[in-house]
Structure 1
């Protein structure tokens, strides 16, 4: 895990050979899969607490009971870490984010309280890059749509199925050439794709064509893969104008944050056939996904799991 430069360092130490009641108490906020993947490695070092998720009142009551002992908070996925939660945890020393992004954490409040904030950094960049390519292949080659077609028993009745598009020759625009974007860029040339990108600034030592804004990148691309950080400046950066510039055959893949795309405009553009398809692992109001997308065969949906593999815990060091 990597430390945010915006926060002070807290002194939380992994301990060995101590009594269970003396282990540091860690609050794991959301996602049971975390317990499955990490408990075997952590239970000798920490006491793990999981708040109930059935109602805000039950969470508040749970945190109030354990507040004095909780020294670390693990925020899984995009779980919000705001002042309302922090107010209930006076003994807290560190906030650990399981994702590379920390946009869901109220950094100014953590800074004020002297809390250390860490993120996954580039620990999972290769896994997310693999998933991005998988989403793109699925959308272009209609893999999931074909799977549904066969499982529904439609092959004997209808025979042929609409063909997909090849990856060879596709111009892929990467929005955010950070750790994840760079890993994506390494993979796609093997499929015959060319790469261009936009970022906050041009990267030194990078030969891919650079575009100063996402609109111009979209106009020169067949595919946009969105993997940058969510900030006030990047929120809804993929708007209607960008989608129109991408064009009717264009595909958008998003493994960054849902709010990087104007989701309402994306839905309408897909329904009107103004873009060719989308592969989405993130959404603007998770876990809620626009229902209009469910019946579209040119859209592939997953539940914010690009980072998740059975090997996940091996990437983490304690």
Structure 2
């Protein structure tokens, strides 16, 4: 792994011009417009000869990379940018970026926390209601003419007054808990560490949380620390009357085990906004009525995306001006 050699080629206090800024992958249109029109940033092509040519010619001069949470600066790309100083991430999640390498090289990384908390929590609540009450399946039932033909839609599960286990009681997890309390739900949680000020019941593991609750709500941060946290054993512990809701990252759950559990009705159902290999969704899920599928729309509102764009650009401009970040990840 190359070390950060920026000190050899320029001072970190020297101005950063557009040709030293690289856009990695698609980003929010407002961010893309600012990068192109205001800063003249370079755009990394898709894998192939054009990308290789750009990295060969300009890789050593890139000092700032701007990316999304879905397509970050991975290990290979980071190694090709020996003078990289900062990674500006559009999104609260940054697991697509090699943070370990960035930290080892002194590359600072920002994200866009807080501004998407409320909308993601709203999505979680929508998934919760739709999944337990089978609202999507009920709509398809009506549209297919089954109700008009005299059929009765199967009974669903009550959403109020349930025991909900929140896996990851961070900003988003707490916002979800606030909403569920209005439904009279009993809140339990598991975190990497217990929160002394929390009034909710703490459980020492994801398995213990699943065993104690009716619904497992996954709100854990993505990345290597949470990868596979909800494994086959945890899914089995949810049980045939329990549900899983995931608005975190697809990597947090053992997706093949979840697919099998849903197909076999080993759990009652699931609501999923995230998947392991987005935008690909396991084909087996598409025809199951006990799962609600969303195309990763947790923060997908006009208002939240505008706030995220403003914060991402604020981080970028702050770094260009005085080498500080408004919201560094640590």
SS in 2 for 1:38: helix
| Matched residue, 2:133 | 141
Measure how far apart 1:97 and its partner are: 1.9
| Matched residue, 2:221 | 229
| Matched residue, 1:150 | 142
In 2, the alpha carbon distance for the partners of 1:56 and 1:133 equals 42
Which of 34, 37, 40 is equivalent to 1:47? 40
> Per the alignment, do residues 195 and 96 of structure 1 end up closer, same or farther by CA in structure 2, a change over 3 Å counting?
same
Does structure 1 retain, via aligned residues, the 8 Å contact 2:271–2:291?
A: yes
Which of 158, 178, 188 is equivalent to 2:180? 188
SS in 2 for 1:59: helix
1:219 equivalenced with 2:211 (yes/no):
yes
TM-score by length of 1: 0.84
Which of 105, 115, 122 is equivalent to 2:114? 122
Measure how far apart 1:227 and its partner are: 1.1
> Per the alignment, do residues 293 and 72 of structure 1 end up closer, same or farther by CA in structure 2, a change over 3 Å counting?
same
Q: Write out per-residue CA displacement over residues 73-103 of structure 1, whole angstroms, 9 at most, x where no aligned residue.
A: 2221232422321233344321122232332
> Per the alignment, do residues 136 and 50 of structure 1 end up closer, same or farther by CA in structure 2, a change over 3 Å counting?
farther
Does structure 1 retain, via aligned residues, the 8 Å contact 2:273–2:298?
A: yes
> Per the alignment, do residues 13 and 286 of structure 1 end up closer, same or farther by CA in structure 2, a change over 3 Å counting?
farther
| Matched residue, 2:267 | 275
In 2, the alpha carbon distance for the partners of 1:259 and 1:129 equals 19
> Per the alignment, do residues 140 and 40 of structure 1 end up closer, same or farther by CA in structure 2, a change over 3 Å counting?
same
In 1, the alpha carbon distance for the partners of 2:186 and 2:50 equals 51
Structure 1 unaligned blocks of 5 or more: 1-9, 15-21
TM-score by length of 2: 0.81
Which of 62, 66, 74 is equivalent to 1:74? 66
Does structure 2 retain, via aligned residues, the 8 Å contact 1:11–1:93?
A: no
1:258 equivalenced with 2:253 (yes/no):
no
Structure 2 unaligned blocks of 5 or more: 1-11, 315-330
In 1, the alpha carbon distance for the partners of 2:13 and 2:192 equals 34
In 1, the alpha carbon distance for the partners of 2:243 and 2:88 equals 34
| Matched residue, 1:19 | none
Alpha carbon RMSD of aligned pairs, Å? 2.5
Which of 38, 43, 52 is equivalent to 2:31? 38
1:313 equivalenced with 2:313 (yes/no):
no
SS in 2 for 1:31: coil
Q: Write out per-residue CA displacement over residues 218-271 of structure 1, whole angstroms, 9 at most, x where no aligned residue.
A: 111111111112354432121222122211121111111112111111011111
